[in-house]
Structure 1
Amino acid sequence: MAVVVVVHLTAGSGVGFLPLISLGPAFAGLVGGWRRTAWIGGLALALTLGLGLYNDLLGHRRGATALVSVGGVTVAGLVAAVMRQRREAELANVRSIAEVAQRVLLRPVPLAAGPLRVAVSYTSAVADARIGGDLYEVVATPYGVRTIVGDVQGKGLEAVETAAVILGAFREAAYDEPVLTAVGERLEQALYRHVRTTEKFVTAVLAESGPERAMTLLNYGHPAPLVVRGDGSATFLPPPERALPLGLALHGAKGPVPHTVDFAPGDQVLFYTDGVSEARDARGEFYPLGQRAALLRAANPQVAVEALRQNLVAHAAGPPHDDAAMLLLRYREDEPATGDGPASDSDPAVGTGPTTGTGPTTESAPVGRFRSGG
């Protein structure tokens, strides 16, 4: 508006720039509230009226056209601003309800459980995504610290519902069942009741770490976890036999065989979904996760996972095509030689991490337990 006034005064009224003052209330209606739009519109009308009197245009068609243009655009801007503010308020209410529901249904991941430190990172392929088909949970039970990381087939609300079923069954079975294979059977039964005869399935890996400084793994067709030893060496932990994902027991295949690996102070195990291992760069090459194990050497496990996430995003060089969830379990090096049992629910070391999110969503230690995408 100031530019239009200067041009009008220097170039003269014959240029016909006066109606362009209506750009002020037009832009105000796009970005401001109705009060600001009304104020800018009133200022535009005052400037138009003043310049019309200064150049003696009010008695001519050009001056009347300028006044009508500014007045009409101001009214249109007010209507647009009111409608936009109403839609923004409705969207804010919906998001608030979704966040509250998520916090009620999904407990935060603990930062520590027994002798283990926990870190989580999540990168969503969908802008502003909050919940979906990538799932993970860590619980300290009388039988040890038990973990699940999984990926539901498909996307959308059906994937969210399936992930909720798996997580609910895991939280109950992890405390009730003394054997990890029995936990897996409970998950299979819960998923069967949910999907019945459909082909919905969930790849998942279950882990149990107790005071004996070993970790037992049960892999349902999920990518093999990556173990990084205290000396810096890294290797994957494939199951002794391949097994079908959860939900495909109707095909008559036997369940996975549990296998135990050493897990001592200074060691750490990274669980992840296929959004990490199958991320491709511009040349179509997969993300070399095993070669990036050195990024997990940071003293703070959350910093280590965040460094790995940033490297993954740089490798993809663009928006991710699939969700990428990572969960890191680190055996604390300062743990006494006798070892401690798992933390109880009242353990003061158990906490929650901060939550951040943008679109595409990137989170470190998110409040949710499962995320968008399959």
Structure 2
Amino acid sequence: MKFNKKLESINTYEAGKPIELVVREFGIEPKDIVKLASNENPYGCSPKVQNAVAKIIPNMALYPDDSMTKLKSALTGKYAIENENLIIGSGSDQVIEFIMHAKADENSKILINSVTFAMYEIYAKHVGAQIIRTASQEHDLDEFYELYKKENPDIIFLCTPNNPTGDAIDAQAMMEFLEKIDKDTLVVVDCAYMEYGAYKDASKKVIPKELLNKFENVIYLGTFSKAYGLGGMRVGYGISQKNIIKELYKLRPPFNITTLSLEAASVALEDEEFVNNCIALNFDEMKRYEEFANEKKIDIIESYTNFVTLCLNETQNSTKLSDALLRQGMIVRDLSSYGMNAIRVTVGTKEQNSRFFELASALI
């Protein structure tokens, strides 16, 4: 059987190992497994969300509200935008897929950071586009601009804060960069972790309304999978000019967000106190990782997210370390596939982090 030849160059995206798989592979009891690989909110979602979702379970036989009125109303109110500026996807990565198919083809070039979210490259390969990468590990906007002038890309992806490194771009510097980009180049500002970045440092905060007011060619991405604790509900969104959103809508399948997911995301926006408390706990616990890295004399990239990237030295191996931790029920993310001798660890609860330090101390 023949398949699309473009698939030959695509590697399947590897998500963090699920707890169920570790149970089957290593015979470890679920209660003894700690998952710190996928940057989920370890405190879960707001209790208000849980209560609201439970009430609508009897309606699961009916299709969702495809107009997404309640969630759109909540998001447009939060960001002071109009419905026509907004598209909602099954996770923000679905919006990335819409963007790629709407803007790029086999003649296109896509400019991304050397180490960044893997789905940019995977979706680019769906359409046969060429990937152009910077040399710098962290976002260097001067380097981005030089490559932009040289390569004339159709799409530029800026991930801030960046996954999987955790660094963030100064918002004012980014605005100055965007001012130099031609309106025919679409710039995607992926802010999946922005709630964390903005909390830690106001100078990193990207405001969608400001992007709308100043630029014709920028789309802002957000998600409910991280700070809002709804990774299992798969809800993300894009905010941009009406003409861009109109084109993306041509690619959106009907009912792409479930009834439960729509309700969960809508109610999550009503409980900002819960989210802010989770973020505060995250950065309190992150200090322990900084102390751990200092004690073990390994580098840690300053993080504006809910995870840390620990860069190992030449006597250590990230793949071997990740595997050794996995066999003891600790799931972290090996970054060797990104060309880094490093592991990415979600900042968990106090107890989860203590377990990581206990296990990792014996291995590093």
Higher strand share: 1
**TM-score between the two structures when normalised by the length of structure 2:** 0.29
Bigger Rg, structure 1 or 2: 1
